[in-house]
Amino acid sequence: MARAKRSTSRVGSFEVIIILGQLVQPAENSWRSTVQRIKVVGAEARRAKKRRDALKKRLRQMIDNTPDEFQDPRKPLAMKQFNFLSPSLFSLHQEGDQLEKAMSLKHMLKQLPNKEQEAWLDFIVEAAGVTDAVDKAEKKQREMREEEMRGKDGVPLYFTKENVTGLFGDVEKRKIETFEALDKSYTLEQKDDLERLGYAFLNSKQLDIVYGSNSPYNKSDSLRMFKRLQRLKDDPHHLVEHDIRALAEAKKFRVRQKDITLSPFVLSPITLAPAATSQPIVLSPLVLSPIILSPAVLGPIILSPWVFIPLILSPRVLSPLILNPLVFSPIILSPVALHPFILVPGVFNPVILSPLILSPLILSPQVFSPLILSPFALSPLILTPMAGSPLILSPFALSPIIYSPQFYSAVILSPYAMSPLIESKLVQAEVILSPSWLS
């Protein structure tokens, strides 16, 4: 057992005995760390108190308005007594009469050297059980927070590893485990950087945890780049500063959209999603997924058949369809410009109230695909036979029909100009009330 150290100093007319040694806790449990924990607990308690103030307001008014005859008769007598415990003897403040001020801890500790003040404060905090009280308060607050964040059946209302696994599968579980492993691998220096700077740089082992082959965030090119920078011993702070300056000056700032590849859309309506429709869609069939209010610019669709995909109020510009069969996919109120249809066979694809400009049909036979109230220009038919696909109230110009026989078709109330038939047979086709010019 360590021997106690005894020292004395004078405070007024009495002697203060300071006992150090076994009663003093180590530095990590010093009074300063305890005070910091008290501040955290106090802040949480103040927030909880604000929530209770409204409920206590009426009770406080009742107590304040209680007549004197109903007050406790012992209260005036108790106020005149001298208490041997705080706040009269060894109080934490310097209020009261002369004796109370002289006997306050604040006044007494001021007379001691700094080192002995620290030892006394550690002793007082430990002897008074402040640390245990703080532990209990923190535990109680944790239990209250957990209780608030659980439903009536006790299930957490926030994500945990268990319920994330049940909801989203093993992939999301692996992501959580990746960051758990990363968190356990932080060095003291990295923790200090996170505390002071808000960020820290990963070492080689940590880079493997995040970007390695066993990680759900596997990215080999990023892993090679970061490890190369470590081998070159380049200053990472310099790179961060360089990137921040480049962003501030808007140099080489580009956002590259990834292609949608091998991602079928089934029963997934695309509504108000221009970003999704304005990027290449490759080898991604669409089934029963209407496209509504989703304009597209530079969004080609390649080898992605459409089945029951109405295009409604979704204009398209520079977004060709290539090798893309269409079945029961009407185009309604969706103007189309600079939008060629190449190798796009179709069945039952009416075009309604949708003008077409510079949108040729090339090698794209159509069956039962009428154009209704859809004028078009500079949109020739090339090697595109059509059957049962009349033009109704759809004027057109500069749109020749080239090597594209028409079967059981009609042009009804649709004037046309400079749109000749070139090597295109008409079988059971009629032109009704549709004047022509230079055709």
Provide the residue ranges of all domains of the chain, joining segments of one domain with +. Answer: 5-140, 161-248, 258-339, 357-439
Whole-number pLDDT of residue 416: 96
Rounded Cα–Cα distance for residues 157 and 295 (Å): 38
- Reply yes or no on whether the pLDDT at 401 is more than 90: yes
pLDDT at 232: 57
258-339 and 357-439 share one fold: yes
- Look at 1 and 336; give whichever has higher pLDDT: 336
Which stretch of 84-93, 188-197, 231-240 has the lowest confidence by average pLDDT?
84-93
42 in helix, strand or coil? Answer: helix
pLDDT at residue 65 in the model: 64
Q: Is the pLDDT of residue 2 over 80?
A: no
Residue 438 corresponds to which tokens in the numbers above?
């230079």
Assess contact for 89 and 103: CB atoms under 8 A: yes
User: What pLDDT does residue 144 have?
Assistant: 77
57 by DSSP, 3-state: which?
helix
> 154 in the Ramachandran plot: left (φ > 0), alpha (ψ -120 to 50) or beta?
left
Q: Which helix (H) or strand (E) holds 161?
A: helix 161-168
Q: What's the confidence (pLDDT) of residue 150?
A: 66
- Pairing mode, strands 410-412 and 341-342: unpaired
What residue spans of 249-342 are helical by DSSP H?
274-277
DSSP state of 68: G
The reported pLDDT for the residue numbered 390 is 96
- Average pLDDT of every residue of the chain: 79
Whether 251 has a pLDDT exceeding 70, the answer reads: no
Place of tokens 């107590």: 63
Would the pLDDT of 296 be above 50?
Answer: yes
Tell me which of 156 and 237 has the higher pLDDT. 237
Beta strand 14-20 pairing with 5-11: antiparallel
pLDDT of 27 reads 46
Confidence category of residue 381, pLDDT binned at 50, 70, 90: very high
**Confidence at residue 167, expressed as pLDDT on a 0 to 100 scale:** 72
pTM: 0.46
Confidence band of 17 (pLDDT split at 50, 70, 90): very low
Quote the tokens at residue 132: 């245990």
Higher pLDDT, 225 or 105: 225
Q: Which two tokens mark 371?
A: 């154009």
Identity of the residue numbered 241: E
| 401-402 β-sheet, strand order | 260-261, 281-282, 301-302, 321-322, 341-342, 361-362, 381-382, 401-402, 421-422
The pLDDT of 289-302, averaged and rounded, is: 94
Q: Are 406 and 426 in contact (CB under 8 A)?
A: yes
Question: Is domain 258-339 in CATH 2.30.29, yes or no?
Answer: no
Outline where DSSP puts E strands in 323-420.
326-327, 331-332, 336-337, 341-342, 346-347, 351-352, 356-357, 361-362, 366-367, 371-372, 376-377, 381-382, 386-387, 391-392, 396-397, 401-402, 406-407, 410-412, 416-417
Confidence (pLDDT) at 228: 79
Task: Give me the pLDDT at residue 12, please.
Answer: 38
Give the span between the Cα atoms of 325 and 100, in whole angstroms. 94
Q: What is the CB-side half-sphere exposure of residue 176 using CA atoms within 13 A?
A: 13
Q: How many CB atoms neighbour CB 88 within 10 A? A: 16
**Token digits of residue 283:** 């080898």
* 3-state SS class at 358: coil
Higher pLDDT, 7 or 56: 56
In the chain, what percentage of residues exceed pLDDT 70? 70
| Residue 69 banded pLDDT, cuts 50, 70, 90 | low
Nearest to 382 by CA among 399, 355, 396, 403: 403
Tell me the CATH number of domain 357-439, given options 2.160.20, 2.30.29, 3.40.50, 1.10.1760: 2.160.20
- Residue 14: what pLDDT? 34
In this predicted model, what pLDDT tens digit does every residue of 187-235 receive, in sequence order? 989 888 888 888 888 888 998 999 988 888 888 888 888 887 776 556 6
Return the number of other C-beta atoms located less than 10 Å from residue 174's C-beta.
Answer: 14
d(C-alpha 295, C-alpha 273), whole Å: 8
Count Cβ atoms below 10 Å from residue 342 Cβ, excluding itself: 16
